[in-house]
């Protein structure tokens, strides 16, 4: 048994507030490259079962400590019932992209069963009218609880169930496993010992925060960074509904690289933040809801050391970056976002990138759970604006992948919504058909963003305008956006 870290357990405790805390990915495959030109559901079951030993995620479940006196544990299971985790469904006719997004949104909106190993897989057929896809494609959607995986560890997980060619590789023989289980008394005794260590851990953390406070104070005085205290409330702040919408918009990596090279020092991440910022300007302007002051994005950062790369779970810090959504000119906005990113990185380094991890490790599990429940029930989570949206960067495969011999040709990703943050973006880079691409997938509360197709148009139009402002492209925005006033 392995105990969850404080940050891993936080996603379990947040789940109790009614906001599902799993992540997901939907991959689309061309089965014409497989051995028989077709992939059968039975083959998928066999593949996953043969590779289940490669990751502990497949064969462990949550075990809570009695009375919530400590953080939960991961408990190994004896036998995996593979068919209770993998489901076979089909899109209704005509089977187009919008229907796929609606189905994926409904699957993603459903909370996971916390009494089982925290993963699910859906094999989806009937993608007959998705523009740009070969005939007879199918999709595979994977859901994994955020307590078990973050974006960085997910990037290592996905290749485990894929191959680098249509030939299905041999994953080897599963090693002998010793399933270790604790009774409740053993868990309670460990909880007492862990809680006795909390005061010292708290004072150690407090001691480390004193020099961090001094660094932040000095940085503000020297204007190395600025505070983002006056955050604006938008349509994406408020109580999150149980329903979701999603979509994904792809972009060519070479074009993005050319765009970022027009602003000295700018990065691909800065460029994608600028695209999101422009899209938010357009969407909120069309709703007559764009604040005069800038919007702010939360940007998760991986804080693992090299020695921790192979570990699962979560080790995430956060930067808060100004999107400069009050700047109409796309190129000027990109330059301002680059400066804001540098300022946010300086602030994160002054504070210490692992503070978020250390704080959750110090708080007792029961206290953290109670605090989150109390904040949700009293409406406190809807009163404070931490940031307006989340934009996270997830590295994808840098080689072409195959699943049961079928070639990966497209996909999208899904993030969890946070209390008072109803819009989540994932910037995903990958190699498809030997061409580098980057997509922006978004997950949103359906009540806050009821028209995902329009927001997708806003993302595309924002990119087109940024490209025109930096590279001189003459491509025009979608007619649906003509009424948006800049």
How confident is the model over 211-229, as a mean pLDDT?
Answer: 69
CATH number at residue 58: 3.30.559.10
Res 308 pLDDT > 70? no
Using alpha carbons only, give the angle 429, 433, 434 rounded to the nearest 5 degrees: 70
Confidence of residue 108 (pLDDT cuts 50, 70, 90): very high
Please report the pLDDT score of residue 93 as a whole number.
84
219 and 135 fall within a common domain: no
Same domain, 154 and 204: no
Q: Which of 380, 273, 386 minimizes the C-alpha distance to 334?
A: 273
Is residue 477 domain-resident?
Answer: yes
Q: Per residue in 113-165, pLDDT tens? A: 999 999 999 999 999 888 888 888 999 999 999 998 876 667 778 888 999 99
Q: Are residues 151 and 201 in the same domain?
A: no
Look at residues 175, 210, 231 and tell me which one is the last residue of a structural domain.
175
CA–CA dist 295, 320 (Å, integer): 10
What pLDDT was estimated at residue 225?
A: 66
What is the mean predicted confidence (pLDDT) over 77-90?
Answer: 92
* Closest by CA position to 7, among listed 311, 395, 382: 311
Percent of the chain whose predicted confidence (pLDDT) is above 70: 84
Predicted local distance difference test score (pLDDT) of residue 31: 94
Query: Residue 317 — pLDDT band, cuts 50, 70, 90?
Result: confident
- Grade residue 474 by pLDDT with cuts at 50, 70 and 90: very low
Q: 157-196 pLDDT, tens per residue?
A: 888 899 999 999 888 777 777 777 778 888 888 888 888 8
**Hey, which residues does 61 pair with through a beta bridge?**
75
Considering the entire predicted model, what is its pTM? 0.88
Q: How confident is the model at residue 312 (pLDDT cuts 50, 70, 90)?
A: low
| Judgement on whether residues 217 and 168 belong to the same structural domain of the protein | no
For residue 183, is it within any domain? no
pLDDT of residue 380: 55
- The pLDDT value given to residue 478: 42
Residue 120's pLDDT is what? Answer: 97
Whether residue 226 sits in one domain with residue 271: yes
Q: Is 43 a residue whose pLDDT tops 50?
A: yes
Mind listing the pLDDT tens digit for each residue in 54-64? 888 999 999 99
SS3 for the chain is CEECCHHHHHHHHHHCCCCCCEEEEEEEEEHHHCCCCCCCHHHHHHHHHHHHHHCHHHHEEEECCHHHCCCCEEEECCCCCHHHCEEEEECCCCCCHHHHHHHHHHHHHCCCCCCCCCEEEEEEECCCCCCCCCCCEEEEEEEEECCCECHHHHHHHHHHHCECCCCCCCCCCCCCCCCCCCCHHHHHHHHHHHHHHHHHHHHHHHHHHHHHHHHHHHHHHCCCCCCCCCCCCCCCCCCCCCCEEEEEEEEEHHHHHHHHCCCCCCCHHHHHHHHHHHHHHHHHHHCCCCCCCCCEEEEEEECCCHHHCCCCECCEEEEEEECCCCCCCHHHHHHHHHHHHHHHHHHHHHHCCCHHHHHHHHCCHHHHHHHHHHHHHHCHHHCCCCCCEEEEEEECCCCCCEECCEEEEEEEEECCCECCECEEEEEEEEEECCEEEEEEEEEEECCCCCCHHHHHHHHHHHHHHHHHHHHCCCCCCCHHHCCCCC
| Pair (322, 460) in one structural domain | yes
Q: Contact 245/446 with Cβ under 8 angstroms?
A: yes
- Would you say residue 395 has pLDDT above 90? no
155 & 300 share domain: no
Question: CA separation (Å) from 89 to 38, 122, 127, 243?
Answer: 16, 7, 11, 20
> Do 354 and 475 fall into the same domain?
yes
The answer to whether residue 21 sits within a structural domain is yes
What are the residues whose beta carbons fall under 8 Å from the beta carbon of 73, sequence distance 6 or more? Answer: 1, 2, 3, 4, 62, 63, 65, 182, 187
Q: Answer with the residue of higher pLDDT: 307 or 327.
A: 327
Q: Report yes or no on 267 lying in a domain.
A: yes
Number of neighbours of residue 121 by Cβ within 10 angstroms: 18
Asked whether residue 154 falls in the same domain as residue 224, the answer is no
Say yes or no: 369 and 477 in one domain.
Answer: yes
- Give mean pLDDT, residues 78-83: 89
Q: Which two tokens stand for residue 428?
A: 């995903």
Report how far Cα 216 is from the mean position of its chain's Cα atoms.
28
What is the pLDDT confidence band of residue 409, given thresholds at 50, 70 and 90?
Answer: very high
Q: Give the model's pLDDT for residue 383.
A: 61
Q: Are residues 62 and 164 in the same domain?
A: yes
C-alpha to C-alpha distance for 460 and 456, rounded to whole angstroms: 6
170 in a domain, yes or no? yes
What is the number of structural domains in the chain? Answer: 2
Per-residue model confidence (pLDDT) at position 449: 97
Q: Evaluate if residue 306 carries a pLDDT over 80.
A: no
Examine residue 78 and state whether it is found in any structural domain, yes or no: yes
Q: Which pLDDT belongs to residue 66?
A: 87
Q: Output the average pLDDT for the chain.
A: 85
pLDDT digit string (tens) for 458-472? 999 999 999 999 998
Residue 354 belongs to what domain range? 197-398+412-481
The pLDDT of residue 467: 97
**Could you tell me if residue 39 is inside a domain?**
yes
Domain containing residue 438: CATH number: 3.30.559.30
pLDDT of residue 483: 35
139/206 same-domain check: no
70 is a domain residue: yes
Q: Report the pLDDT value the prediction gives residue 381, as an integer from 0 to 100.
A: 61
- Tokens encoding 274: 């600028």
**CA atoms within 13 A of residue 352's CA, in its CB half-sphere:** 17
């Amino acid at each position: 048994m392995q105990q969850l870290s404080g940050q891993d357990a936080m996603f379990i405790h947040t789940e109790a507030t009614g906001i599902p805390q799993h992540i997901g990915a939907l991959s689309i495959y061309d089965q014409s490259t497989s051995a028989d030109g077709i992939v059968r559901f039975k083959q998928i079951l066999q593949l996953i079962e043969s590779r289940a030993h490669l990751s502990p995620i497949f064969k462990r479940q949550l075990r809570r400590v009695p009375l919530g006196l400590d953080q939960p544990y991961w408990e190994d299971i004896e036998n995996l019932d593979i068919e209770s985790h993998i489901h076979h469904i089909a899109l209704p006719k005509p089977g187009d992209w919008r229907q796929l997004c609606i189905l994926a949104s409904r699957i993603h909106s459903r909370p996971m069963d916390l009494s089982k190993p925290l993963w699910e897989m859906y094999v989806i057929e009937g993608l007959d009218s998705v523009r740009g896809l070969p005939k007879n494609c199918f999709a595979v959607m994977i859901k994994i609880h955020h307590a078990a995986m973050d974006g960085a560890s997910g990037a290592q997980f996905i290749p485990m169930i894929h191959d680098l060619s249509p030939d299905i590789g041999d994953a080897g023989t599963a090693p002998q496993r010793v399933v270790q289980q604790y009774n409740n008394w053993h868990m309670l005794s460990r909880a007492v010992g862990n809680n006795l260590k909390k005061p010292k851990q708290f004072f150690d953390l407090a001691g480390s925060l004193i020099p961090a406070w001094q660094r932040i104070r000095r940085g503000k005085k020297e204007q190395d960074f600025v505070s983002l205290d006056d955050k604006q409330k938008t349509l994406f702040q408020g109580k999150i509904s149980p329903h979701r919408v999603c979509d994904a918009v792809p972009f060519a990596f070479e074009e993005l690289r050319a765009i970022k090279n027009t602003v000295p020092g700018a990065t691909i991440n800065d460029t994608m933040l600028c695209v999101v910022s422009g899209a938010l300007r357009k969407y909120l302007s069309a709703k007559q809801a764009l604040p005069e002051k800038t919007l702010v994005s939360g940007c998760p950062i991986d804080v693992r050391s090299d020695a921790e790369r192979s570990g699962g779970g979560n080790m995430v810090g956060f930067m808060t970056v100004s999107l400069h959504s009050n700047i109409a000119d796309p190129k000027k906005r990109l330059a301002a976002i680059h400066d804001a990113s540098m300022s946010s990185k300086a602030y994160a380094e002054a504070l210490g990138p692992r503070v978020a991890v250390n704080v959750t490790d110090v708080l007792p599990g029961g206290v953290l759970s109670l605090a989150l429940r109390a904040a949700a029930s009293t409406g406190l989570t809807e009163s404070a604006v931490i940031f307006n949206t989340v934009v996270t960067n997830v590295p994808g495969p840098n080689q072409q992948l195959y699943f049961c011999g079928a070639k990966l040709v497209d996909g999208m990703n899904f993030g969890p919504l946070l209390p008072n943050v109803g819009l989540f973006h994932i910037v995903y880079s990958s190699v498809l058909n030997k061409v580098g691409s980057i997509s922006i997938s978004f997950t949103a509360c359906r009540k806050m963003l009821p028209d995902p197709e329009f927001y997708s148009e806003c993302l595309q139009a924002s990119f087109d305008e940024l490209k025109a402002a930096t590279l001189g492209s003459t491509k025009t925005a979608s007619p649906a956006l003509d009424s948006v006033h800049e």
